[in-house]
Amino acid sequence: MTHLFGGDEGRVHSRTIYVGHKPCPPNEAFIPPKFCDNRIVSSKYTVWNFLPKNLFEQFRRIANFYFLIIFLVQVIVDTPTSPVTSGLPLFFVITVTAVKQGYEDWLRHKADREVNDYPVSVLEDGRRIRKRSKKLKVGDIVEVEEDETFPCDLILLQSSRDDGTCFVTTASLDGESNHKTHYTVSDLESDLQYLSATIECEQPQPDLYKFVGRMHIYRNSQEPDVRSLGPENLLLKGANLKNTQKIYGVAVYTGMETKMALNYQGKSQKRSAVEKSINAFLLVYLFILVSKALVCTTLKYVWQSKHDEPWYNEKTQKEKDTNQYLKMFTDFLSFMVLFNFIIPVSMYVTVEMQKFLGSFFIAWDKDFFDPEIKEGALVNTSDLNEELGQVEYIFTDKTGTLTQNNMEFIECCIDGFQYKHQEGSSELDGFCVTDGPVNKVQQKAGREREELFLRALCLCHTVQVKESTKQGQDQIDQLDHVDGLGSEEVLQPPQQERGFIASSPDEIALVKGAMRYGFTFLGLESKNMKILNRNKDVETYELLHVLNFDPVRRRMSVMVRSKTGDILLFCKGADSSIFPQVRQEEVERIRMHVERNATDGYRTLCVAYKHLSTEEYAKADADLREARLALQDREEKLMAVYNQVETDMILIGATAVEDQLQDEAAQTMEALQGAGMKVWVLTGDKMETAKSTCYACGLFKKKTELLELTLRTLEDGGRSREGRLHDLLLEYHKKAVQDAPPVKLGITRSWSVTGHDYGFIIDGASLSMVLSSSSESNSRSYKNLFLQICQNCTAVLCCRMAPLQKAQIVKLVKNSKGSPITLSIGDGANDVSMILEAHVGIGIKGREGRQAVKNSDYAIPKLKHLKKLLLAHGHLYYVRIAHLVQYFFYKNLCFILPQFLYQFFCGYSQQPLYDAAYLTMYNICFTSMPILAYSLLEQHICIDVLLDNSTLYREIAKNAMLRWKLFLYWTALGIFHGLVFFFGVWFLFSNPALQDNGQVFGNWSYGTIVFTVLVFTVTLKLALDTRHWTWINHFVIWGSLAFYVFFSFFWGGIIWPFLKHQRLYFVFANMLSSVSAWLIIILLILLSLLPEILLVVLRKPRGPHARQKKRVESSAGDPQSPQSSARPLLMRTFSDESNTVI
C-alpha cells in the first residue's frame, strides 16, 4: 500500500466515500459513486440453477457418470434388461444426494436471510430511520447500540463514552473474546447532521488488522482538515459493541466487500483414505466387468461359427444386414449392461447415509457434554468419521488446548527478591513469614521499589473496569469478576462489584496480583488513571500515550504524568525483548527467577520503567503524533519511535502467571501415545514454558533425551548459523535415526520399540532456516533430515511459531513418505490455518472465541474428549465402514457371477438369469438395510475395552482393514459363493421334474432359486459377522428376508397390466411347493457359510482382536470384564453383547 496515496496516479487503488451522501465541498457537482450493496451470499444454489448445477456436480463422480452411460446404452441399444434396472437405482442415488445438498443449502439461505433482514438504524437528514441490513449503502451513517453486531465495516465517528472510545469483541472474526478499544475520529462536529466530509481509503482487502485511509473535513469554505485513519478507527462487520451505550459510524465497506466476507473461504474438500480405497477397488471390479463382457462377446461369435442358427431364434433381415463389427460392439455393450451390477452404485448412497447418520452419535454422546459451557460435541462435516480411526500424527496448540487459558497470578520478583502469595503467608526466597503488608516482610526490596513495581502493574495495561449491571449478570463469560483475592479492607464494598475487561487474560491476572499486595486499579476516566494505594489514598495519573503490544517487539508501554508533574514510562514484556533494553547490571538478579519460573511452567513477564525529562517527552510526543498521521509506512514509523523511546530503562522485577493444565491432559496424551500416535505441540509461547507443559502432560518424560534446535543452540560454537544448523541436524540424525535399533516386523511406530526415547524441540526462527535454506538442494536435504529425526522422536515441541508456520509443519508431515493421516487441534484463531491444513481438524470450544470451532471438522468442549473421539468413535467408524465397503463388493460379485456362468449354458444369448424386478430391488431393498444398520450400530469391541486398551487402535492403523490381502479374501469368498449358488442349483436341475406331478421347472425357476439362496446367504453372512445385536439389527435382518419372500409372492401372484412379459407369474409359489427346492435352498445356504464358520472356529485368533481376547481371558475372574470380547469373530453371533449403543 506504499503507493496508495502517493499522488493522482495512485487513486485507482483507493475509493472515495461521501459521509452521509453529501457533496463535498457543498458547491461541487455530486456524482454518487457505485459500490456493492450490503447483501451477504454464502449459499451455493438458487432456485433456477439448483437442478443443472447439482446434476453437473453429481455426474462428475465416476460411478454416477458410469451408470448414466449404462442407462443411456439400455435406452438406445436393444439390451437384455430394461433401462429401469439401472435407471431406478441411479435415480434413487441422485435424488437422495440432491435432497441432502438442497437441504444444506436451504439452511445457508436461511442464515443469509437472517443476516440480510436484520434491522439497523441509519441517520438520514438528522432523522433516525430503521431499514434492513441488506439496504445499507456505503456512506450511510449507522447507529449501533450496546451488544449489537456491526452490520458492515464502519469508521467510528461518535461514541457515547466521554473519552471518544468504544469497546468491541471480535470473537466471530479472529477468535479472540477479549475486549478491544477503538477510537473516534478526533475533533468532529457533535451533531453529525452538519458534518461535511469525505473519506479516502484503500480498496477492500482481507487483512483484519490493516487499514489505511484519511478523512477530509470541510468547514466554511476553508481548506479541509485532514485526519489520518487506521485500524483503530475501523469497526468490522461481525464484531460486537461492548461496554458502550451507542456509537455512530459511516459505512466504508459493505456486503461481500467487508473484511469478514473476504476472509470467508470455503473449506477445501477433504477426502478420506477409505474413499481412495473404494476408487481403487472400483477399478479392479471395472476390469473384471470388461473382462467378462469381452470373454462372453468372443465366445458368442466362436459358438455361432460352430453352430447353425436355432430355428426358434432366427435372425431378422435387418440383423443380417448390420455391419459385423457394429454388431460385435453392440453385443459387447449388451454384456456390459447385463453384468453392470457388479459395480455397486448404491454403495455410494449407503456410505453417504452411514456417514451422515453416524455423525449424530458424536453429537449425542453424553460423555462429550460439558456442564460449564452447557454444550456437547459438534460435527461440521460427516465425510471424515472413519478418518478419526486412522490418525498417526496429532498437532496440538498449547494455550487453551493443553492448558486452560485461565491465568492466575502466582508470584513476583522485585529487585531479585521473591514475593509468593499464599493463603495466609508470603514466601520469600525459600522461607515463609507471616503475611501482612508487604513492607513488613524481611529481606525484601525497599518499600519505594515495591511501590514502584506495583504501580507499574496497575498502570501498564489496557484493562478497563466495568461496574456490574443487570446486563452484566448475563455476560459472565465476558466479565472476569474481582473476587476479593486479598484482605476485605483492600476493597470497598462498591468496588467489589467491579469486573475487569482486557484484551488479554494475562493483564487481568497482573492487575489482580497487584491487588493482593495493596494496590487496586480503580479505572480510567477522561485520560486519567486512578489507583488506590496501600494507604487507602487515591493516586491519579494522566495517561499520555499507550505504546501498544505487537508480536514483533513483544512488549507494551505507557507514558503517564503524575500529580507532581513527573513523566514516567512503564514497560512490560517478554524477557527476551526487555533485557536488551535495560541496564545490563540489573539483568542477572532477575534472570534466575525468570528462568526458574519458566521451568516450572509459568508465563513470565519482566517490568521496567524510565523517567522522561520534559525535553525527552516533547520529542517522543512529536515523533509519535507525526508517525500516527503518516499515510505511508505508518506501522514501520511507529515501530521506530517505540524502539527509540524504550531504551535505557531500569529493570524493576518480573511476574509469574500460571496457566493450568486442562483436566486429564496427561492421561489423554498417554492414551494417544499408547495408541501409536505421535503428538507435536505447536505454540507461540517461549520454549521454557512450553517445555515444562510437555513434561507436565507426560509428552516428555524424565528419561527422554531432548534434541534442541533453537537460536540458542545455533549460536553456540562460534560458527555461522547455517553451518551450525547443518552440523546439528546430522548429529541428531545419527542419534535418533542411524543409531536407533531396527524396527520389528508388524510394528508401525518405530519409537514404540526403541530402547531410548528422544524428544525434539525447534523454534520458529530455526524452522524458517530449515524450510527456506539459501540453496534449494540444502533446503530439501534439511527438510528430509528434520522429518526423519522428528518421526523417530516420541514427541516434538515447536515453540515461537507463527500461525502460518503451524500450517507449514502440518503440510510437511502430511506430504511426507507414506502420506500419514494428520489431525490438528486448537482453540484460537491462530490455529485455524493448521486446522484447515490437516486431514482432520478439531476445534476446542475454549475461551478464545469460536473461530477454530467454525473452521474445524469436529468440535469438542475439552481436550480430554479427544481420547474417546479417536479411540472409541474413530475406531468403530473405521471398522464399520471398512466392513461395509468389502461387504458391498462381495455381495455384488455373488450376485453377478451366476449371471456370467449362465451365459455358458444359453449360447451367450445375453439371456438374464434374474427377473428385472430382482435386478432392480437387490441393492435397493433386499440387502441394503441390514448393512446400513450394521455400519451404524456395530461394536465389535466394547467401548470401555477400547478406552482401557489404547493399543487396540494400532491394529487398524494404516488402513489395515482395506488392504489388498483382505480385499482378495472377500473377492475369493464372493467367487466361491457364486459358484456354489449356480452349480448347486444346476446339479438339482439335472432332473428338472421336481414336482410330484412331473411338471418341469423352467429357466425363471432356476434363476429364482439361485436368487433366493443368494439373498439368504449374504444376509445371514452379515448376521454371522454382527457381534452387537440390537432390536434394530434383528428388525432389519429378519425383516429384509421376510420382505423378500412377501415381495416374491406378491410380484408373482398378480397379473400386472403394465408388464409385457409376466415372467414370474406363480413361479415363486410353485417353487416352494417342491420339497427338492426347499432342500437345495437350505443345503446351499449351509454349504456356503460352513467353511467360513469352520475356519474361524478352528483357526487360532490373530489380528485386531487377538490381543483383546488374551486380555479379557486373563481377567476372566473379574466380574466386570466384558465376556462378549473373549470369543472369536463368528462364535458370538446371537449373544447379548454390550448393552450400549453409541
CA 901 – CA 979 distance, rounded (Å):
8
Catalytic residue among 153, 174, 397, 857: 397
CA angle 38, 39, 43 (to 5 degrees): 150
Strands 705-709 and 758-763: parallel
CA 895 – CA 191 distance, rounded (Å):
82
Show the cell assigned to 922. 437387490
CA 148 – CA 241 distance, rounded (Å):
6
Say if residues 229 and 214 touch (Cβ distance below 8 Å).
yes
Say if residues 348 and 90 touch (Cβ distance below 8 Å).
no
Say if residues 1135 and 1122 touch (Cβ distance below 8 Å).
no
Show the cell assigned to 543. 495517561
DSSP state of 907: T
> With 0-12 CB in 10 A as exposed, 13-18 as middle and 19+ as buried, what is 1057?
exposed
Going by C-beta distance under 8 Å and a sequence separation of 6 or more, which residues neighbour residue 97?
58, 349, 352
CA 694 – CA 420 distance, rounded (Å):
24
Strand, helix or coil at 1057? coil
Going by C-beta distance under 8 Å and a sequence separation of 6 or more, which residues neighbour residue 419?
411, 412, 413, 426, 428, 438, 441, 444, 517
Q: Which residue has the cell 454518487?
A: 32
- Other residues' Cβ atoms within 10 Å of the Cβ of residue 187: 9
Residue type (1 letter), 1117: G
DSSP state of 136: -
CA 362 – CA 869 distance, rounded (Å):
8
Strands 795-799 and 678-682: parallel
First to last CA, the chain: 55
Residue 1118 known to be catalytic: no
In the sheet with 480-481, reading across from the earlier edge strand, the strands are 464-466, 499-501, 480-481
By C-alpha distance, which of 764, 827, 834 is closest to 799? 764
Please state, in angstroms and as integers, the Cα–Cα distance from residue 637 to each residue in 212, 629, 645, 1121, following that order: 14, 10, 13, 70
CA 698 – CA 668 distance, rounded (Å):
10
The H helix count followed by the E strand count for the chain is 37, 36
Residue 156 sits at φ, ψ, to 5 deg, of -75, 120
Within 13 Å of residue 62, how many CA atoms lie on the same side as its CB? 11
CA 761 – CA 378 distance, rounded (Å):
33
Residue 824 sits at φ, ψ, to 5 deg, of -115, 140
Say if residues 420 and 435 touch (Cβ distance below 8 Å).
no
- Other residues' Cβ atoms within 10 Å of the Cβ of residue 1011: 24
CA 26 – CA 252 distance, rounded (Å):
21
- Other residues' Cβ atoms within 10 Å of the Cβ of residue 640: 13
CA 687 – CA 665 distance, rounded (Å):
19
Show the cell assigned to 725. 544448523
Query: What does the DSSP assignment read for 760-787?
Result: EEEEHHHHHHHHS-SSHHHHHHHHHHHH
By C-alpha distance, which of 693, 676, 696, 661 is closest to 862? 661
Show the cell assigned to 255. 456486503
Q: Mind telling me the catalytic residues?
A: 397
